[in-house]
């Protein structure tokens, strides 16, 4: 298994390329798709899956362009209607050889947000990593102000449930792969850590020591 992070300078956006057994998936591709095509050629793999963890407002998504050039299928959350691709739901799984990609629905930042758990079934049934989109960052959590002040408490409660009940239980050793890094407008206090884990965030993340009520008040 190979996982590569592709940062977009100036946007603090992260997309990811994961490959195994001659296949690859791209998570949250940017409009300039050449980086993914170059990686596919370098590794001699075929891009078969494209996942969008949520609809993005801060950059132009490149899913359609990448699908056009590769024939890959596009997948996204089911809670809003997209004009393209395939809706996924909680528990859906996809395989890149021994690598399992399992969908969990993690609403809060947006209603259709998903996270994707990576498990290497040849090695262990334990999660190896999780693509968290804009739910959980290093040192911060996703914004909950997109639906107006009258719905902020509602969506903040959804995000709390997503993080505490679905992401944190994956285990302390699970690597966290968010869609943004420090400087992104999608979080006000994202740290500049290149790599983090659920265990590290549980010990250091300022939001993860809060009660649900406190979390809702701060978001």
Query: How large is the average pLDDT for residues 163-181?
Result: 95
Pairing between strand 114-120 and 99-105? antiparallel
Domain membership of residue 182 as a residue range: 2-218
Query: How large is the average pLDDT for residues 79-106?
Result: 94
pTM for the structure as a whole: 0.93
pLDDT computed for residue 163 by the predictor = 97
CA 166, 196, 184, 57 torsion-angle sign: negative
In the chain, the number of structural domains is: 1
What's the pLDDT tens digit per position in 103-140? 999 998 888 899 999 999 999 999 999 999 999 999 89
pLDDT computed for residue 127 by the predictor = 98
Residue with the bigger pLDDT between 169 and 8: it is: 169
Residue listed under structure tokens 């884990």:
197
**Which CATH number belongs to the domain containing residue 191 in this structure?**
3.60.15.10
Average pLDDT, the chain: 91
Residues 216 and 156 sit within 8 Å (Cβ to Cβ): yes
Q: How confident is the model at residue 143 (pLDDT cuts 50, 70, 90)?
A: confident
Per DSSP, the residues of 41-100 read HHHT-EEEEEE-SS--SSS-B-HHHHHHHH-PEEEEESSS--SSSEEE-TT-EEEETTEE
pLDDT computed for residue 183 by the predictor = 44
């Amino acid at each position: 298994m190979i996982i590569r992070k592709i940062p977009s300078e100036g946007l603090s956006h992260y997309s990811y390329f994961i490959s195994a057994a001659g296949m690859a998936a791209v998570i949250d591709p940017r409009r300039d798709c050449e980086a993914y095509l170059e990686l596919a050629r370098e590794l001699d793999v075929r891009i078969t899956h494209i996942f969008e963890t949520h609809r993005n407002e801060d950059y132009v998504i490149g899913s359609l362009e990448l699908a056009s050039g590769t024939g890959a299928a596009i997948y996204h959350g089911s809670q809003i209607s997209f004009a393209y691709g395939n809706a996924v739901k909680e528990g859906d799984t996809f395989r890149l050889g021994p690598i399992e990609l399992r969908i969990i629905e993690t609403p809060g930042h947006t209603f259709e947000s998903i996270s994707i758990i990576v498990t290497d079934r040849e090695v262990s049934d334990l999660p190896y990593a999780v693509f968290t989109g804009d739910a959980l960052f290093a040192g911060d959590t996703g914004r909950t102000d997109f639906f107006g002040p009258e719905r902020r408490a509602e969506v903040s409660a959804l995000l709390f449930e997503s993080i505490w009940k679905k992401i944190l239980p994956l285990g302390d050793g699970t690597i966290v792969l968010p869609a943004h890094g420090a400087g992104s407008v999608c979080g006000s206090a994202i740290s500049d850590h290149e790599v983090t884990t659920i265990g590290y965030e549980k010990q250091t993340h300022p939001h993860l020591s809060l009660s649900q009520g406190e979390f809702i008040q701060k978001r």
